[in-house]
Amino acid sequence: MKLAGTGMLASAITPVFGADGEQDKRTKARTKEKSPDSFGIGIAGYTFFQLPLEKAIEIMIKVGVTNLSLKDNYLPMNSNQEKITSVMEAFKVARINVYTLGVIYMKSEQAVDQAFEYARMAGVKMIVGAPDYNLIPLVEKKVKEYDMKIAIHNHGPDNPLFPNATDIWNNIKDMDPRMGICLDIGHTTRDGQDPCIDAERYAKRIFDIHIKDVTLATKDGKTIEMGRGIINIPEFVSSLRKIKYAGMCSLEYEKDMKDPALLQAGIAESIGYFKGVMAF
Amino acid sequence: MKLAGTGMLASAITPVFGADGEQDKRTKARTKEKSPDSFGIGIAGYTFFQLPLEKAIEIMIKVGVTNLSLKDNYLPMNSNQEKITSVMEAFKVARINVYTLGVIYMKSEQAVDQAFEYARMAGVKMIVGAPDYNLIPLVEKKVKEYDMKIAIHNHGPDNPLFPNATDIWNNIKDMDPRMGICLDIGHTTRDGQDPCIDAERYAKRIFDIHIKDVTLATKDGKTIEMGRGIINIPEFVSSLRKIKYAGMCSLEYEKDMKDPALLQAGIAESIGYFKGVMAF
């Protein structure tokens, strides 16, 4: 909210100089709101992989982020309905919106079955996943059966499974339109690709985004506080506006994961940076 | 650094598609660096008023800010040269640049004498201060004698002494050009003034800036994480660019001051936000 509650503020501003109109004019221009972006900010659950659930909630409240992509460290894949309801309720009470589950790796038909049942029981409408290539047709069958989206996650040069968005696209482009991409801009960059180009090129299948910054555009690149690395975040936000992206941008912060205070500060700086970029 | 070390990155990016030139063209556009701003980022020492010096240094290192406006909680006004040298050395070892001292309140001639001696012994070129109105002529004399700038700090509706930049300007505008303003954008806003207008109107005498965000444009306004309050930071950065401001923007974060982890996170989010705004 920028100089908002504008009526209040406009009346609170007493012109310093005479009735030359300058201040009134300037103030009015400045109180004009930037229209909000169509995309939101979240956190990708792997960020909290080393912390107890209560600490994850505490950090999300501190940094003021209310959307979470929940990883299975707080909700094992074999959980029953009771367990799932109880964990989802813990986030709901904290006013945190679990908008998806994942990243869920699927290495067998049973794992695909389980993933969709798990997501159904949790009441989400999308899975972020990485099924083995040979399981993609089964995943598509499940997507239709459950009316649930899947956003396949790219993992860069670390993993032969879906190194980049182009590989995901090539595998799903002729499939059900609920088959999509979770574009991880860090792994995209580490794989030598440009996240802006991938976002724009595959726009209609980008269902979720993991935001982060990295130190290098190679396999050796590591997560760093957003704004300190090599990814051009302002350009990326411009691309998201261009394609009218309407999903989440969830921070996946893979640094200082075992130290709650440092992790919290790194998340805070990164979220602050992304909000600052979005403010323009 | 945005997609910098551009030679490295350009060579690391392998075009995904054929030789249509699109990716090459886009990548080149994207690797173009934004020219750096003429102003820098610092922290105003009052932020650390409740913490031991070692913790302040630890937080500055974590958030990656290297410029400090040092408050007297770590360096009492009556310190001798030995004490001053020792404290300044602690920051130097941590690669922190103490670019000014303050805010120093001056309520007597002795206090003015002491402030300038204190700053001389510390080796800084500027004091951030708030002398009583009747002492301003003596301060000007000292400014000439020591060849030292003073940036007078505005404190909004809390304090009848210098409520806003206009009041400071009216008191110093005909004095030595080394007599200037430390524009506190939070107190400016809480006083019902517009920091953008004040920055532009008094540009040639703005020597230092305390950045922050506040909840309300009245006396009841409190510091909040930057980006969450009512101050239009993008507009303010635009004003600084317009006037080619070449000093520091030092965050004064007056929330959670007794809780190092929360304070660190609030500083990190605020600095991240300001950097994100500057990235455009």
Is residue A204 situated within a structural domain?
A: yes
Is residue B46 situated within a structural domain?
A: yes
Give the separation between CA A260 and CA A263, rounded to whole angstroms: 5
Is residue B4 situated within a structural domain?
A: no
Per-residue pLDDT band at A34 (split at 50, 70, 90): confident
| A44 DSSP β-pair partners | A69
Per-residue pLDDT band at A6 (split at 50, 70, 90): very low
CATH number of the structural domain spanning residue B90? 3.20.20.150
Per-residue pLDDT band at B222 (split at 50, 70, 90): very high
Distance of residue A247 Cα from the nearest chain B Cα, in angstroms: 21
**pLDDT tens digits for range B103-145:** 999 999 999 999 999 999 999 999 999 999 999 999 999 999 9
Is residue A42 situated within a structural domain?
A: yes
pLDDT, position A202: 98
- How many other C-beta atoms lie within 10 A of the C-beta of residue B170? 9
- Given the cut 0.85, state whether the ipTM is greater than it: yes
pLDDT, position A33: 63
Least CB-CB distance to B272: which of A1, A3, A273?
A: A273
Tell me the C-alpha to C-alpha distance, in Å, between residue B93 and each of B119, B207, B260: 20, 26, 22
Share of chain B above pLDDT 90, in %: 86
**pLDDT tens digits for range B157-204:** 998 999 999 999 999 999 999 999 999 999 999 999 999 999 999 999
Give the separation between CA B279 and CA B273, rounded to whole angstroms: 10
> Which structural domain, as residue segments, surrounds residue B137?
38-278
A-B contacts at Cβ under 8 angstroms = 180
Q: How many helices and strands (H and E) does chain B possess?
A: 11, 10
Helices B53-63, B260-278: axis angle to 10 degrees equals: 30
Least CB-CB distance to A279: which of B22, B260, B277?
A: B277
Distance of residue B157 Cα from the nearest chain A Cα, in angstroms: 12
Residue B37 has pLDDT above 50, yes or no: yes
Residue A162 has pLDDT above 80, yes or no: yes
Least CB-CB distance to B264: which of A2, A27, A265?
A: A265
How many independent structural domains does chain B possess? 1
Residues A192, B13: C-beta atoms closer than 8 Å: yes
Is residue B241 situated within a structural domain?
A: yes
Q: How far apart are the first and last CA of chain B?
A: 13
pTM of the model: 0.89
Is residue A26 situated within a structural domain?
A: no
Indicate the DSSP class of residue A177.
Answer: T
Indicate the DSSP class of residue B90.
Answer: H
pLDDT, position A78: 97
Is residue A21 situated within a structural domain?
A: no
Instruction: Specify whether the CB–CB gap between B217 and A8 falls below 8 A.
Output: yes
A contacts of B168 (beta carbons < 8 Å): none
Give the separation between CA B236 and CA B199, rounded to whole angstroms: 8
Picking from B43, B232, B233 by the largest number of A CB atoms within 10 A of its own CB, the best residue to mutate is B232
pLDDT, position A279: 96
Is residue B177 situated within a structural domain?
A: yes
B contacts of A194 (beta carbons < 8 Å): 13, 23, 26-27, 30
Residue B25 has pLDDT above 50, yes or no: no
